[in-house]
Chains A and B, each alone.
Chain A
Amino acid sequence: MSAVEGMDNAHVDAHEHHHESQNFWQKYIFCEDHKIIAKQYLITGIVWAVIGISMSIIFRIQLGMPDSNLSWLKPVLGGWISDTGKLDPNFYLALVTMHGTIMVFFVLTAGLSGTFSNFLIPLQIGARDMASGFMNMLSYWFFFLASILMFGSLFLQNGPAAGGWVIYPPLSALPQAHPGSGMGMTLWLSSMAFFIVSQLLGGINYITSIINLRTRGMSFDRLPLTIWSFLITAVLGLISFPVLLSSVLLLIMDRHFGTSFYLSDIYINGEALPNVGGSPILFQHLFWFLGHPEVYIVLLPGLGITSEIIATNSRKPIFGYRAMIASMLGIAFLAFIVWAHHMFVTGMNPFLGSVFMFLTLIIAVPSAVKGFNYITTLWKGNIVFTPGMLFSIGLVSLFVSGGLTGIILGNSALDIQLHDTYFVVAHFHLVMGAASAFGLFAGVYHWFPKMFGRMMNPTLGQIHFWFTFVGIYLVFIPMHYVGIAGFPRRYYQFTSYDFTNKFMDMNMFISIAAIFSFLAQFIFLWNFFYSIFKGKRAPMNPWRSNTLEWTTPVEPVHGNWVGEIPAVYRWSYDYSKPGAKEDFIPQNIPYSQTLESNFPHENELIATEKEIEAQNFNDQFNSH
């Protein structure tokens, strides 16, 4: 984090402050400014991503090159590598578990939502800051605390949690069942409890800010789709995370206080446990009631970011703005009533399976609408391949390719064979893992100039895109084949069975492609950190975009706008409007100034401009 701090020291100081100057701790550590908090989230997320992806490389080496000697990892992993250079099977499970936990929660939830909701909501709705800067700060520091606990668990004697990222009890409830279910699981559960607190504090703040702090004229139908997606994401999180908290608390009770919520009829290590009457399936229901919306918590911000970037760089309005919002709302609603499609073969009543199959497959419809709308936005555009744009196009491709196999898995009859095989792994890595990560990359490339006042190197960005894009497909398309061949997930090695003791070359290929994609990320890391300090100075509106954040100074000051907050008169997608001089008209330009390009109904809106201008209800700086 010191990197950002140092950088910010350098040039934020150059700006004038209309507030009394703050000391270093107030400004960069316990900061209540949404922009700094966003950067804190981003840097923490990047650090976690490096850790999380490195873990996947280690287990990919184990799976793809099972005979390789891993002694070179001894300096890092110590006793987890045996004297013969083999990975410990327990630690393999820990790696798989931590990779999932870290990537889903710490990178793609906190790193993506935390960064861009915090950064963009005030800037794009025209607010000085979040509704509660203090809560926002708490949100980050709870996340930081969660991070410390999770990171600390990596260094335990018995290793971190290792029951899969879904931590199904009884495995996760019984320390005697697995070494990772001891202290590692305790820390995992505590970490997640703090993480959920962080998400709720953040989410409440996002929702409140979006509803209450929109600037003059920024009605809901003029909000950029990014903001819509953040709003919907925050609502999803607010409803579903408490359920995860309750399931975590019940699990803690089972582990430490002798309750039997999830435990029944267990005989382990020569001992029959007294617990009866509990149900492991209950945990699965509670977990997936969060777990499924979580998929969309991860994905929707990516889709929002993509909508904005694709429109900007196609120089076209997003196609079907209202349909895009409607489909996001539809997806969000359906997200809550499909959770049991993760549980078709858990022994759940088959009738429920039919219901959940039906509901699950409905999700394909709003998703299809989104896909087609993106494509139509590209059609007859004037496309500029900024790195952000490339990653957005990549996202659409990954979202569609990965989403289609979801239609197979959502079909309970087909899920019998494919459940918990690599087909599932391939599916969700494409549709939620890679697609959301592409959303994160797209957002970083696109808003880097606003964050740091400098440009990232576009060519390196483009190279990074192509390597990553090709690499992701090279990893996950073949993984579908491995899944169709019946290979189960979370296997330390494939030599125990005749039906998996084959296809070695394909697993090796996947591992090589994964390593290649991993290495390509260093291009990004270098570009990112180098550009923070040495990047080209950014112009005010480098992508010629319509949204409000580009009307702030190159590096927004505390309070974002010097002087009054701009008023908003139009939606954010007036690109290439017929008759207009430029191919973009920012949101703060009134219709009275663009008579040449107005549509008839827009001319009527000119009458309302005075009224909009006269409003002043949310400027936190003017109110006192």
Chain B
Amino acid sequence: MYYIIALVALVFVVLTGVVISRLQDVIKSVKKEESADAVPSGNKVNGALFIVVLVLGGIAIAWSYMHSREFFLPEASSVHGRRTDDLFWFSMGVLTIPFILVNFLIFFFSWKYQYKKDHRASFYPDNHKLELIWTIIPAIVMALLVFTGWKAWSDITSEAPSDAEVIEITGKQFNWIVRYGGVNDNKLGNYNYKLIDAQNEVGIDLSDENSFDDFQNPTEMHIPVNRPVLLKIRARDVLHSVFIPHMRVKMDAVPGMPTKFWFVADKTTAQMQAETGDPNFKYEIACTEICGQGHFSMKINLVVDDEESYKKWCAEQQTFLQTYPEYLAKVPDNLKAKAMKGLPETTVAPADSSATASVAGVSTGTSIR
């Protein structure tokens, strides 16, 4: 890094030197008689500076890129991520050609065709063939890039395979809550934002039997390796955006409009720890849609397990009802027996059926808090 700073400092020093010498020229030129208005002071110096900046700039960009590479994200840990990465670097490669070509021409022509006394520019107002060429070539290159991008995009955004592991992730100021369908039915229960309270953070609707074995976790998300994972994404208050940099996954979380993203992670956390040589390596999920004061630290860790440890982890989790047995009161009477299955005996006892009966009412949902 210090090299960069030194390099830049050098550029600045050179420029400052040029400036000072130019200033001296100005002072001199004030004394000299005024030349014709079209001949500017310092035309040669500026022409030369184009070449200097072109050369130094080229070196600086090449060098800084080499330097920066080690800080880029490691190779994607998801199948589609490697595809978009390849596409990204392919596009970058293609675009580097016009970047170099055009900037070279701008800088080089500026220097080459700088003002010369008694020289006259050539009157060259148009050339249809040339213009056709540089309309058609970019159009063809664009068509190529569009096509590859479109193929990737439609594959990535296609319907998730039916065997995908469905996990719900809900954003709120300022953390994420993940919810799983549970080990018994592996289906996410319904939700309703009006049922949200201090414990029931995502508004699980306990009148839906699928919700009885749902479990949630505000600190860690586990997913199985080599299996499609479908994220069902929700937001509770304002916009958030699920960003899993290592998986190349990003999708906004929108209040009132559930979104989704599916992907296949194919490197477990342990594999990545070995690959990066960093025993503390963690996959992370960040927020990339401004959501308020804590936007910059809205983090939840992601653990990619092999199938076995994933199953084991799921089985170890306490279901929502196990954690908060008092919510049994919200379960409709006819389903109570089913809901109580996994619960320890002691907590089941007071089956208070007075107020809450059939519908887990909207108002009660908010009043429990």
Contact = CB atoms under 8 A, between A and B. Distances in A.
B248 A401 contact: no
B241 A414 contact: no
A69 to B, nearest CB: 20
Contact of A405 (B37, B95, B154, B238): B95
Interface stretch (B113-121, B319-327, B334-342): B113-121
Contacts of B38: 384, 543-544
A414 B150 CA distance: 10
Contacts of A264: 255-257
Interface string B70-111: 011100000001011101100110010011001101110110
Given A264-B255, A407-B95, A502-B71, A322 B8 contact: no
Interface stretch (B122-130, B176-184, B209-217): B122-130
B8 A385 contact: no
A177 B87 CA distance: 38
A408 B4 contact: no
A267 interface: yes
Interface string A269-290: 0111000111111000000000
B312 to A, nearest CB: 25
B313 interface: no
Contacts of A401: 99, 103
Interface string A379-397: 1111111100010010011
B250 A544 contact: no
B127 to A, nearest CB: 8
A614 interface: no
A152 to B, nearest CB: 23
Interface string B273-305: 000000011101011111111111101000000
Nearest to A170: B238
Nearest to B252: A346
B42 to A, nearest CB: 6
Contacts of B4: 505, 509
Contact of B105 (A357, A361, A375): A375
A134 interface: no
A470 B105 CA distance: 18
Given A278-B256, A413-B153, A478-B64, A496 B297 contact: yes
A291 interface: no
A216 interface: no
Contacts of B11: 470
B256 A279 contact: yes
Nearest to A180: B292
Interface stretch (B134-142, B161-169, B351-359): B134-142
B13 interface: no
Given A358-B146, A365-B142, A462-B46, A499 B245 contact: yes
A323 interface: yes
A459 interface: yes
Contact of B1 (A164, A404, A506): A506
Interface string B148-172: 0110111011000000000000000
B138 A364 contact: yes
A509 B87 CA distance: 29
A583 B121 contact: yes
A149 B237 CA distance: 29
B49 interface: yes
B150 A319 contact: no
A506 B68 contact: yes
B121 A576 contact: yes
* Residue from the set B88, B249, B293 with the largest chain A CB neighbour count within 10 Å: B293
B251 interface: yes
B123 A577 contact: yes
Contacts of B139: 365
A448 interface: no
A459 B25 contact: yes
Contacts of A500: 286
A469 B256 contact: no
Given A491-B296, A509-B5, A267 B193 contact: yes
B222 interface: no
Contacts of A477: 61, 64
Nearest to B117: A382
B241 A345 contact: yes
A317 B292 CA distance: 52
Interface residues of A, number: 133
Given A386-B40, A417-B84, A481 B71 contact: yes
B173 interface: yes
Contacts of B71: 481, 485, 502-503, 506
Contacts of B115: 382-385
Nearest to B113: A381
Interface residues of B, number: 125
A396 B113 contact: no
Contacts of B248: 416-417
Given A178-B293, A267-B236, A462 B42 contact: yes
Contacts of B280: 498
B199 interface: no
A142 interface: no
Contact of B41 (A315, A458, A474): A458
Contacts of A577: 123
A53 interface: no
B23 to A, nearest CB: 7
A220 B288 CA distance: 47
Contact of A358 (B73, B99, B150): B150
Contacts of B120: 315, 382, 576, 583
A181 B306 CA distance: 45
A485 B153 CA distance: 21
A90 B246 contact: no
Given A171-B238, A396-B106, A411-B146, A272 B366 contact: yes
B1 A382 contact: no
A598 B1 CA distance: 60
A404 B91 CA distance: 10
Interface string A485-511: 110111111101111101101100100
Contacts of A470: 11, 15, 53, 57
11 contacts: A171-B239, A321-B125, A345-B250, A368-B135, A411-B149, A458-B41, A481-B64, A490-B296, A506-B68, A544-B38, A578-B123
Interface of B: 1, 4-5, 8, 11-12, 15, 18-19, 22-23, 25-26, 37-43, 45-47, 49-50, 53, 57, 61, 64-65, 68, 71-73, 81, 83-85, 87-88, 91-92, 95, 98-99, 102-103, 105-107, 109-110, 113-116, 119-127, 130-131, 134-135, 138-139, 142, 145-146, 149-150, 152-154, 156-157, 173, 193-194, 196, 198, 203, 233, 236-239, 241, 243, 245-246, 248-252, 254-257, 259, 280-282, 284, 286-297, 299, 366, 369
Interface of A: 89-90, 93, 163-164, 168-171, 174, 177-178, 263-268, 270-272, 276-281, 314-323, 345-347, 350, 353-354, 357-358, 361-362, 364-365, 368-369, 371-376, 378-386, 390, 393, 396-397, 400-401, 404-405, 407-408, 411-414, 416-421, 457-459, 462-463, 466-467, 469-470, 473-474, 477-478, 481, 484-486, 488-494, 496-500, 502-503, 505-506, 509, 512-513, 516, 539, 542-544, 573, 575-578, 583
